[in-house]
Structure formats: structure tokens, C-alpha cells
Amino acid sequence: TGIRERRYVPQGGDVATSDLALAASQRALADAGVEAKDIDCIIVGTLSPDIFFPGVGVFLQRKLGIADKTSCPCYDIRQQCSAFLYGLQMADAFIKSGMYKRVLLVGAEIHSHSLDFSTRGRDIMVLFGDGAGAMVLGPSASDDPRSGVVYTKVAADGSGSEYLYINMFDIRKAPYLQLDWRDRERNQDMYPQMDGKRVYVRAVREMNLATQRALAETGFTWDDIDWFVPHQANLRINEQVAALAKIPAEKCLHTIQFFGNTTAATVPLTIDHWRQAGKVKKGDRVLSTVFGSGFTWGAAIFTV
């Protein structure tokens, strides 16, 4: 998988997904020179909300101290590993239409509270870490049609929805979950399930095709792209995608070795990690591609 380290929040129950989202948002706002009260839309991608409902967005709004100041809309989206690019497409459309001016886009996850740490769950448990990343998007004046968010395209194929899932809240059941800790079959529903081979094959295919399509539809070549940022699920997937799409190795950015798979957070987390390291710079053009359960996938080209 390429994973050497993972990060988990403390296990005492004091840290929620919205707390990670808050920390990432505060850093993004400071980096952008924008105050929280200037945000007029919040989009949060997560599969691990604080509670079943309401979503993380309203908790984040409150923790930012703007709930009673802006009444800004708060969207929670559930596209798992593809959520950040789905959210990027939404934010781009909102801004271009003039509906909102400043959008706070966040991917945040706490996986460690929902993993099976027994031998039964090791194939999935080893992949996931906790983390969050955020971006502030807004209009900018430029004569360059290749600046800003240049391209987004996302897609889904629901026929793959049962190859990576968690069955904990099944609305057909009453109650949602009946647990007997002595019955391993019954308590399995509370943990993620995955058909790894099917996910791997489809991820390589769709991420490769999405990458090729993004270049073809924009007319860009790899000479025009500074960095390739794939979703960080498995280093072998990313290496296979890079080989098939003929992506120069020096342009591929990875953080899975440090953080594991942080699902909705991987794209902004990877960009920020390498920005702090001095590798990614303001104005650099990124091509990002993602794949997640559902199945969902997509690609985007944008400047940092």
C-alpha cells in the first residue's frame, strides 16, 4: 500500500470530525487572508460526521463563530474519497454563477473510531487515517483563461456501491443496528467492508481515463501541469495510474506514506503538505484525480 505511518485522533472521545475541519479551516482562512465572517458558503465532504445528523457543516459554522453572523448555507456531501472534487465542482459553479463569493471547501475524516482492529479487519484497518484539509475559493481578476479552476468533471456508477461500504445505518432495519458482541457475524455490520480486487481494478481504470479526459478536453499536456495529485488510497494504484497516463514521476505528489487514506481530505492535505515543504508554490497548476466508493470518481485542473 505504501503506507508507513498514520495519524489518529485521541481515543477518549473528545475530538470530533468538525474539530479537525475547524483546524484546517482556520489555517486555510489565515493563508488566504480571509476572515471567517467573509465566508458565505460552507461545503464539507465527509463519510464520518460528528453524529448521524445534522451534518458537519453546521457544527463547523458554529465553531468558526459565524453561525449568528452570516447564516451562510452549509452543505454536507457524501461522495467518500471523491468528495473533495465533487465539492470543488460545486464551489466553482456557485462562484461563477455569482451565487456565492467566498466558499470554504473542507474534507475531514475520523476513521479510527470506526475501524475493526481485530485480525478480521486488518485488510481495511491498515489503510485509513484521520485528517482534514481545507481551501478557500473565490473570484479573482485575471486575463488568463487558464488560471483558477479550469476544469472539473465527476461521475458515478452505482453498480459498484456494494464493493466498498459500511452497513451500520440501514434505514430498512429497526433498530438500525442490533449488536451482540459475542456474535462476530452480527457485529460485522458496524465496520467497513471491501472487495479490494474490484476496487483496485476499477480505481486504476477510472482515474486513468479521467486524467486522460481532463488533458484532452482542456488541450493541456504534462508540460502545462506542474503537479499530479491523485487520491491517496493505495500507492500501487497511483503508480499504475501514473504509468498508464504517462505522467512524469517527478510531478506526482504523494502523502499516503505519512497519513494513509484520509478519504475526503487527501487532496487538500497532500497539496498543503508539499506547500509547507516548499515544493508546491502559489500559481502552480494541479491536475487531481480521485476514485471512491459508490463508485464515484472525477478529475479537476486548477491553480493553487
pLDDT at site 181: 64
The residues, any chain, with a CB within 8 Å of residue 34's CB and separated by 6 or more, are 102, 136, 138
CA–CA–CA angle 125, 126, 127 (5° rounding): 90
Specify whether 167 is catalytic.
Answer: no
pLDDT at site 212: 97
Reported as a single tens digit per residue, the pLDDT across 81-118 is 999 999 999 999 999 999 999 999 999 999 999 999 98
pLDDT at site 189: 81
Picking from 125, 100, 102, the residue whose alpha carbon sits closest to that of residue 115 is 125
DSSP state for residue 274 in the 8-state scheme: H
| SS3 state of residue 252 | strand
Average pLDDT across the chain, whole number:
94
Specify whether 261 is catalytic.
Answer: yes
The residues, any chain, with a CB within 8 Å of residue 12's CB and separated by 6 or more, are none
Specify whether the CB–CB gap between 228 and 246 falls below 8 A. Answer: no
Cα(115)–Cα(6) distance, integer angstroms: 13
Specify whether the CB–CB gap between 129 and 205 falls below 8 A. Answer: no
β-sheet bridge partners, residue 108: 132
Specify whether 81 is catalytic.
Answer: yes
- Lateral strand order in the sheet of 74-77: 74-77, 41-45, 103-109, 131-137
Cα(31)–Cα(34) distance, integer angstroms: 8
Among residues 231, 234, 254, 273, the one annotated as catalytic is 231
Reported as a single tens digit per residue, the pLDDT across 111-159 is 999 999 989 899 999 999 999 999 999 998 888 878 899 999 999 999 9
C-alpha cell at 55: 451534518
Reported as a single tens digit per residue, the pLDDT across 167-187 is 888 888 877 777 676 777 777
Among residues 72, 74, 81, 254, the one annotated as catalytic is 81
Picking from 24, 16, 92, 21, the residue whose alpha carbon sits closest to that of residue 57 is 21
Q: Which long-range contacts (CB under 8 A, 24 or more apart) does 219-224 make?
A: 220/287, 220/301, 222/246, 222/247, 222/248, 222/251, 224/146, 224/285
Cα(107)–Cα(42) distance, integer angstroms: 11
